[in-house]
């Protein structure tokens, strides 16, 4: 549980530190008039748009989920002597490259949206989405290869964790693809770029996040 504990420690540390910072230097019992349009009295604690903030908090929750899986992975590995690492298919390297490309393309779309360049935005979105589909297809292919080679989900805990974690990661990416789809449909429907800027940015953030998660998971599987 060290990984999870560390993660929770960091998160709760940040939350507690931020909350204490907000609350330590106040005299709540004093009444005053909040007339000035001073930022101190607006009801917003953070400058981010709500949608972006909620995505970030959601990503923390997802990180908690994956951290727990990694904890379970490491604990199960040492708890019994039946752990036989499965060969990592070479295809996974290719998939990793595809996911990186997908992330780069969405970053490109994000920059284009900021500059209101419609063509680049469209290209970036399409390329990013395309590579995301390729990645998911590639993961399925990797599964197929392993199953063909006789690495079934129930034959070893290493296999079980592999299918479980990659599957869960792919599911999260599929969730992102839904958001990507909505954004793309809106773009095709002629919605102004300015109104899509936030959606594109959120897609890009989510993709980068899943890329980092994938790199950590892949690294974990390579090293064990």
Partner 1 sequence: MSTIAHDADDFVAPAEIPEMELYHPKTWLGKYVFSQDAKVIAIQYAVTAMGIGFIALVMSMLMRLQLGFPDSFDFINPSVYIQLVTMHGMIMVIYLLTALFLGGFGNYLIPLMVGARDMVFPYLNMLSFWMYFLAVVVLVASFFVPGGPTGAGWTLYPPQAILQGTPGAEWGIVLMLVSLAIFIVGFTMGGLNYVVTVLQARTRGMTLMRMPLTVWGIFMATVLALLAFPALLVSAIMMLFDMLLGTSFFMPAIVSMGQPLDHTGGNPILFQHLFWFFGHPEVYIVALPAFGIVSDLLSVNARKNIFGYRMMVWAIIIIGALSFVVWAHHMYVSGMNPNFGFFFATTTLIIAVPTAIKVYNWVLTLWRGNIRLNVPMLFAIGFIFTFINGGLTGLFLGNVTIDLPLSDTMFVVAHFHMVMAVSPVLVVFGAIYHWYPKITGRMMDETLGRWHFWITFVGTYAIYYPMHYLGFLGVPRRYYSIEGTNFIPESAMSLNAGISIAAFIVGAAQLIFIYNLFISYSRGKEAGGNPWEATTLEWQTADTPPKHGNFGKSLPLVYRWAYDYSVPGAEKDFIPQNVPPSSVEKGTDETNQ
Q: Which residues bind partner 1 (CB under 8 A)?
A: 1, 4-5, 8-9, 11-13, 15-16, 19-20, 22-23, 26, 28-34, 37, 40-50, 52-54, 57-58, 60-61, 64-65, 68-69, 71-72, 75-76, 79-83, 114, 153-154, 157, 160, 164, 168, 194-195, 197-198, 201
| Residue 167 to residue 154: CA distance in whole angstroms | 15
Q: Cα 201 vs. chain centroid, distance in angstroms?
A: 13
Question: Which residue lies nearer to partner 1 by CB, 32 or 119?
Answer: 32
Which two three-digit tokens encode residue 210?
A: 């899943």
Q: Give me the least distance between CB of 94 and partner 1, in Å please.
A: 27
Q: Could you give the CA distance from residue 39 to residue 49 in angstroms, rounded to a whole number?
A: 15
Q: How far is the CB of 160 from partner 1 (least distance, A)?
A: 4
- Least distance to partner 1, CB of residue 20, Å: 7
Smaller CB separation from partner 1, 1 or 174: 1
Please identify, using beta-carbon distances, which residue of 16 and 174 lies nearer to partner 1.
16
CB of 69 to partner 1, least distance (A): 6
Residue 140 C-beta: closest distance to partner 1, Å: 17
| Cα dist from 52 to 48, 56, 202, whole Å | 6, 6, 6
In angstroms, the CA 4 to CA 68 distance is 6
Q: What phi and psi, each to the nearest 5 degrees, are found at residue 172?
A: -65, -40
Question: Which of 174, 160, 169, 215 lies closest to 66 in space, CA to CA?
Answer: 169
- What does the alpha-carbon distance between residue 194 and residue 182 come to, in Å, rounded to a whole number? 16
Give the three-class secondary structure for 150: coil
Compare residues 98 and 184 and give the one whose CB is closer to partner 1: 184
Based on CB atoms, which residue is closest to partner 1, 69 or 108? 69
């Amino acid at each position: 549980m060290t990984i999870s504990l560390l993660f929770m420690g960091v998160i709760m540390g940040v939350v507690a530190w931020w909350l204490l910072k907000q609350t330590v230097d106040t005299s709540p019992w004093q009444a005053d008039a909040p007339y000035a349009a001073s930022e101190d009295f607006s009801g917003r604690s953070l400058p981010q748009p709500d949608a972006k903030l909620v995505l970030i908090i959601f990503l923390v929750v997802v990180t908690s989920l994956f951290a727990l899986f990694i904890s379970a992975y490491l604990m199960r590995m040492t708890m019994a002597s039946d752990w036989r690492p499965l060969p990592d298919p070479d295809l996974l390297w290719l998939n990793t490259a595809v996911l990186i490309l997908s992330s780069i393309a969405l970053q490109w779309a994000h920059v284009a949206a900021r500059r209101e360049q419609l063509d680049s935005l469209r290209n970036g979105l399409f390329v990013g989405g395309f590579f995301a589909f390729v990645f998911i297809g590639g993961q399925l292919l990797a599964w197929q290869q392993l199953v063909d080679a006789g690495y079934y989900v129930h034959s070893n805990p290493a296999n079980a964790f592999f299918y479980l974690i990659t599957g869960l990661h792919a599911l999260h990416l599929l969730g992102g693809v839904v958001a990507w789809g909505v954004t793309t449909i809106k773009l095709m429907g002629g919605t102004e770029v300015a109104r899509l800027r936030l959606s594109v940015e959120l897609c890009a953030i989510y993709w980068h996040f899943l890329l980092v998660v994938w790199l950590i998971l892949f690294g974990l599987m390579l090293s064990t």
